[in-house]
Structure 1
Amino acid sequence: MARVFAPLMREHDYVVDQIDGELPSGLTGTLYRIGPGKWEVGRTLMHHLFDGDGMVSQFAFDGRSVRFRNRYVRTPQFKHGLVSAGPVRPGVGTPLPGGFWANFVKGKGPANPANTGIALHAGRLLALWEGGPPHRLDPDTLETLGTYDFDGRLRGALKAFSAHPKWDPVTGEMFNFGQDLSPLPSLNCWKVDRRGRLRRLARVPMPNMPWNHDVALTTEHMVFVLDPYMFDLRTMFGGGASVFDAIRHRPEKGTRFVLVPRDGGPARIVEHEALVHVHVANAFEDGADTVVDLVLFDDFEAIRRDLSDFRARFTDLPPSRLMRYRITPAGRVIETPLSDRPGEFPQYDWRRSTRRHRYTYMTGRTGPSGAYDTVLKVDNDTGHTQSHEAGPHTYVGEPIFVPRAPDSAEDDGWLLTVVYLAAEHRSRLTILDARDLSPVAALHLPHHIPFGFHGTFTARVADPGAPIPHPDRLPIR
């Protein structure tokens, strides 16, 4: 299974011609997926999952065929790696030799590989990474247009715009956050209106700044679940350790639920016993209560080791389960299990974002350990969990829900997921009927797609005639 992390050294552009089943005629639009495409900068091997060069995959559905293309984000790290033997800036988990001076003064901190999230909003396609600004891409050609700071409105020492924005389907607004270190540790909370204009909603002071990866959204709040993943500055600055290796789980500090009002009022912080999570699902208001769902893990240290030793360990993440947390006006937190099936990468019908949702989709596995080889559908009302097993020696990526029609029922649509086939060392895009997880079609690619993180679907069909500047292959030595 480790070959899912093998680099993809070509940029492709072709119509998929090997399809099992029948393409749904109503499935039109574009699926974008993003993740690290290679973990080599020049001849230097990067040692952390988050440090690979970002690569975007595009599946354009026109109702008759599907066209695939992939393209690397032309970040400074990517371009430097084409002509040099190694990086000039460290990764979050791959430090440069030379200690503090080389990594945080001369190196200016971790490079932005633009590899974690992908968002299309107000006509702009953005490749996201949580420690810096987005890279803007052409939604047709995937050509990199440069870093994007929302016309100078994205501020802060890092100009961080995280990899997990959330949208209000009613207002068309996009909400996101960025962690900042100067002048004091804080969370910058951003709101982008439907025309793409950004403003800072709030700046929340965060002493002992924890690492945070995701945010949820309700009609009233941005909802943060801040677990005690604390940065040990003495480790980071003293011995030349990487940023990620300096994170320590401090359960005695507990988890903080931080509710930031969308109207710009003061944040509310509710203390809770320590949790371990990476991704949240949906959130909503239920009367006076705020409710947020997330995937709860048993062991943070195991996750940290898996990310650093990803080639050997990441396809066997520790046990997890889908949970719901209800925050009452009195500050009580009520915990409810939704499913005991291990999984990750929670998704749902984005039309239900900010509002109560019934179904959550995840990658999962058939047993208590091993690779995620299954798509899960959790009925949050009944606890019933359906599953679709992709087969032996497979790795299933994040499932993205696409509604059959704008007004169709919550689970009336398709799930799109990229599946890696280890025995063949190639990938396929699997289309499932979201109502019962029955297979609809499988699009077989002649190559693999390296392990990816997240994706998005838009009804806009990417122009299949738009040329790619370098369609054949990368000039990599």
Structure 2
Amino acid sequence: MTIGNLASTPRTAALSSQAALRQYVSLEREYDYIVDEMDGAVPEGLLGTLFRIGPGKFEMGESRLHTIFEGDGMVSRFIFDGTQNIRYTNRYVRTDQFRKGLSNGRLPEHGPENPVKGRKLQTLTRLRNVANTNIIPLAGEMLACWEFGNPHRMDPDTLETLGAEDFDGALGYLGAFSAHPKWDAETGEMFNFGLDFLPTPRLRCYRKTPTGKVEQINSVTLWDMGWNHDFALTKKYLVFLLDPFRIPNPIKLARTGSLAKALKYQFEDTYSKIVLVPRDGSRPRIIDYDAQLHIHMTNAYEDGSDTVFEFPRYTDVDSFSSIRLTTTGPTQGGPLANIMRWPTSHLVRLRVSPSGRVTEEVLTPDNAIEFPQFDWRRSNLRHTVTYSTASRVKDVSHYDGIGKFDHAKETATFWHRDDWAFGEPLFVPRSKIGAEDDGWLLTLSQNLLTHRSQLSIFDARDVEVGPICTLYLKHHVPVGFHGTFTSRVAMPQGLRG
């Protein structure tokens, strides 16, 4: 693996802890305007709509949240209509919990970390749905997704919340529908899963049929009550890698009411499970493998009779304990736990044979990388290029750049800027038949010194050159998670200001 352009911008002085915490400052206003500050030019041919989502507000009434994962979901939208006049709009998902939070002075429902006094057993039934993790297109609408509950339908033009979606009762007891659905690039079918804790811990696997109906195609019982965030899809299987996250003491969960505190990574005498769930509904295959630690998957495919999948793996299982949390000071409004150190990671591909033999290929050297992306036209097929957020500095609270990993050429290139906190880079192809890097990368970041955010557009062929266009917003956008680019150009009404 050849490493190139690790230092595309000069190193700046270390950011203060106060500056780093600006990622977690609430955005109290909803905007709608034409971006009037830009470096470079929007490339010709970039046509469509970018949707991003993440936690936008870290308070519920008068209560300060404990973690970033429970903030109310806020959508950011950029419209590319073929001109240089890019329209930006942000809008909160109007969940029931968001509306209650506007009127109540305390937390109205339970969250994974924040138990409501007197109602701790709610953790075992329903959690506060904040709809903040991913936003996807479906049937002419957008779905704001959160893995412990129903997705919320949104109008792509008005960003109006249309209500929670249960797909005509198809979802399980908790209504869980993960934030990482996958599509078959050829058939257009969508697959997803939901994680249930009661009455029996299980993964429920779903398929959206060509007629638009969502149906359960399989389920996998999890007697040890594990947790899983993502999966991958091949032509034959839904592919899960279940790391040893466990709830070793359900009594503690019931007593404390905190799912986050009860969920533990088992460091000793443990293993991960590779679960291959056939798309045709037949019996799943479960293979025990060495303990892994990951959050997201990149892609998966069938190679002859083998199943191959890729993911960023944290390089040392013990490194999980090095993820440190800090609590904001009085100037940030109270206790909010933030990740202050991400462990190093690298891209790995695991190959599973029909006999259950597992072999692994390490694709990249150790680096701090996450939020893997690729050309989604290669979904379920072998891909040769992976993109991700990246950091060149250890012990930092944010990813200060993006990376491109060309597996065919065995090269890795990066572009960094120390004072910018980068989000997931999305690849947009230039045409329907172009190469995997013939297109653009779009990534939303925040300047931690100026407390403003910007959308950067990279030529995916030359990431190390830096952005070919940067659109500067008038304000910051808090830390985000995932998003989608659609070829459809949203058509909102007049500017709201």
Shorter-chain-normalised TM-score: which range?
A: over 0.9
CA pair 235-440 structure 1, distance change in 2 beyond 3 A: farther
Rounded Cα–Cα distance in structure 1 between residues aligned with 2:133 and 2:478: 13
Contact 2:323 2:343 in 1 (8 A): no
Contact 1:103 1:109 in 2 (8 A): no
Give the structure 2 partner of residue 461 of structure 1: 489
Contact 1:326 1:334 in 2 (8 A): yes
Rounded Cα–Cα distance in structure 2 between residues aligned with 1:265 and 1:312: 43
Deviation track 1:201-231 (CA, whole Å, cap 9, x = no partner) reads 1011221121000010011110000001001
Is 2:430 the counterpart of 1:404? yes
- The one-letter amino acid paired with 2:150 is P
Q: Secondary structure at the match of 1:409?
A: coil
Written as runs of structure 1 = structure 2, the 5 A alignment for 1:386-397 is: 386-389=413-416, 391-397=417-423
Give the structure 1 partner of residue 79 of structure 2: 60
Deviation track 1:332-389 (CA, whole Å, cap 9, x = no partner) reads 1111111122200000000001000000000001233323111100112343101111
Written as runs of structure 1 = structure 2, the 5 A alignment for 1:425-464 is: 425-437=451-463, 438=465, 439-464=467-492
Contact 1:75 1:114 in 2 (8 A): yes
TM-score using structure 2 length: 0.90
Larger mean CA deviation between 255-264 and 242-251 belongs to 242-251
Alignment match of 1:228 (pick from 244, 251, 263): 244
Shift of 1:27: 0.2
Q: Secondary structure at the match of 1:81?
A: helix
Give the structure 2 partner of residue 373 of structure 1: 400
Alignment match of 1:332 (pick from 341, 357, 364): 357
- The one-letter amino acid paired with 1:451 is V
Shift of 1:109: 3.5
Written as runs of structure 1 = structure 2, the 5 A alignment for 1:173-188 is: 173-188=189-204
Give the structure 1 partner of residue 296 of structure 2: 279
Shift of 1:132: 0.6
Deviation track 1:254-309 (CA, whole Å, cap 9, x = no partner) reads 10000011111110001001111111101111111111111111346447754998
Larger mean CA deviation between 202-211 and 364-373 belongs to 364-373
Deviation track 1:65-107 (CA, whole Å, cap 9, x = no partner) reads 2110010001111101111111121211111223xxx122499
Rounded Cα–Cα distance in structure 2 between residues aligned with 1:388 and 1:432: 10
Is 2:368 the counterpart of 1:348? no
Alignment match of 1:34 (pick from 53, 74, 78): 53
Give the structure 1 partner of residue 235 of structure 2: 219
Give the structure 1 partner of residue 102 of structure 2: 82
- The one-letter amino acid paired with 2:395 is S
Alignment match of 1:319 (pick from 310, 329, 344): 344
Contact 2:326 2:337 in 1 (8 A): no
Alignment match of 2:91 (pick from 71, 96, 99): 71
Percent same amino acid at aligned positions? 46
CA pair 372-423 structure 1, distance change in 2 beyond 3 A: same
- The one-letter amino acid paired with 1:318 is P
Contact 1:397 1:418 in 2 (8 A): yes
Rounded Cα–Cα distance in structure 1 between residues aligned with 2:92 and 2:166: 20
Alignment match of 1:137 (pick from 143, 146, 154): 154
Q: Secondary structure at the match of 1:152?
A: coil
Larger mean CA deviation between 283-292 and 173-182 belongs to 173-182
CA pair 76-107 structure 1, distance change in 2 beyond 3 A: farther
Rounded Cα–Cα distance in structure 1 between residues aligned with 2:356 and 2:374: 27
Please list every run of 5 or more consecutive structure 2 residues that lacks an aligned counterpart in the other structure. 1-19, 329-334
- The one-letter amino acid paired with 1:339 is T
- The one-letter amino acid paired with 1:94 is N
TM-score using structure 1 length: 0.93
CA pair 32-129 structure 1, distance change in 2 beyond 3 A: same
Contact 2:238 2:277 in 1 (8 A): yes
Shift of 1:392: 2.5
Rounded Cα–Cα distance in structure 1 between residues aligned with 2:482 and 2:206: 20
- The one-letter amino acid paired with 2:419 is H
Give the structure 2 partner of residue 161 of structure 1: 177
Contact 1:39 1:45 in 2 (8 A): yes
Is 2:47 the counterpart of 1:47? no
CA pair 307-159 structure 1, distance change in 2 beyond 3 A: farther
